Amino acid sequence: MVPQIDLCQDGPRFSRLVHGLWRLADWKHSPKETADLIAHCLDEGITTFDHADIYGEYTCESLFGAALAETGVDRSTIQIVTKCGIKLVSENRPAHTGKSYDTSKAHIVASVETSLKNLRTDYIDLLLIHRPDPLLDLEEVNAAFVSLRDAGKVRHFGVSNFLPSQFDMLAAHLDVPLVTNQIEYSVLQRGAEADGSIDLCQERGLRPMAWSPFGGGRLFHEDSAQAKRVRETLHEIGRDLGGASSDQVALAWVLKHPASFLPVLGTGKASRITKAVETLDLTLSREQWFRVWQASAGHDIP
């Protein structure tokens, strides 16, 4: 069973593993199949679901909302995360004439209103600004956040893909706290170690969320020298751990980090969700963790 974890002091309490719905439209599930997948997550203790308004060209939130309604689950027992700030050219948004970022108050509030309708819910547990916007106006974002909080439509706020300086700039001008930064982190993508993103979260007592904890599938299919080295090392460690699969070792590697990442699992298969949950019982030694690090880096630790 997946445990619950506080994102920060006085922040929301989420499941340690999060189910990501980025590819929900690609899975071609029927509403019942999606409802069954949600139910399976809940049976395993995964109560947190990650969205963005743009996923599936603006369709995934409504697909999830319809399926969630079919489950009849008590809304208070789950947590919904969604993001806004990216505008895509899509037949589902004919008014968008070009890809851009928009973190104006009007866009943030309108995006949330649409997400609430599509998700068939009265509130969002956590709203994230999807990516740093060069034209971000601090007063506009603060006004949007305060308005949404006071209206009870969004309970907590955070960011995604923000560098430490960008996080600090926004946080310093908000009347509501930022509770997390959702960043890319995996055995193939360790940039957050060097750019200070993980350090900032640990300094502030925030639990980061990790998107693409398997490198967006690159770990399993990519033919690069890095991916080959890492796969071989994961296989060896899995064998030493009694037959753990390579994907389980890769997830255990992320989970071992003291920042207490919440990995976002982007799978539509119940069997893979169960395997991920089983990983919580898998503990890597320090030596095994650094073997994976060195395989990813392509050189020994300094």
pLDDT in tens, 250-290: 999 999 999 999 999 999 999 999 999 999 999 999 999 99
Q: Given this model, what pLDDT does residue 21 score?
A: 98
3-state secondary structure of 181: strand
Question: What are the catalytic residues?
Answer: 55
Q: Which residues contact 78 (CB under 8 A, 6 or more apart)?
A: 42, 47, 48, 49, 68
Q: Given this model, what pLDDT does residue 36 score?
A: 97
Q: State which residues of the chain have pLDDT below 70.
A: none
Per cent of the chain over pLDDT 70 is 100
pTM assigned to the model: 0.97
Q: Given this model, what pLDDT does residue 217 score?
A: 87
Closest CA to 141 of 96, 117, 173: 173
Q: Given this model, what pLDDT does residue 25 score?
A: 97
Average pLDDT, the chain: 97
- What are the helix (H) ranges across the chain? 24-27, 31-44, 55-58, 60-71, 105-119, 138-150, 164-171, 191-194, 197-204, 218-221, 225-240, 246-256, 270-278, 286-297
Both structure tokens of 230:
């890492």
Residue 257: phi, psi to the nearest 5? -60, 135
For the chain, report the end-to-end CA distance as a whole number of angstroms. 38
Q: Given this model, what pLDDT does residue 216 score?
A: 87
Give domain 4-223+258-283's CATH number out of 3.30.70.890, 3.40.50.880, 3.20.20.100, 3.40.50.1100.
3.20.20.100
What ranges do the domains of the chain cover?
4-223+258-283
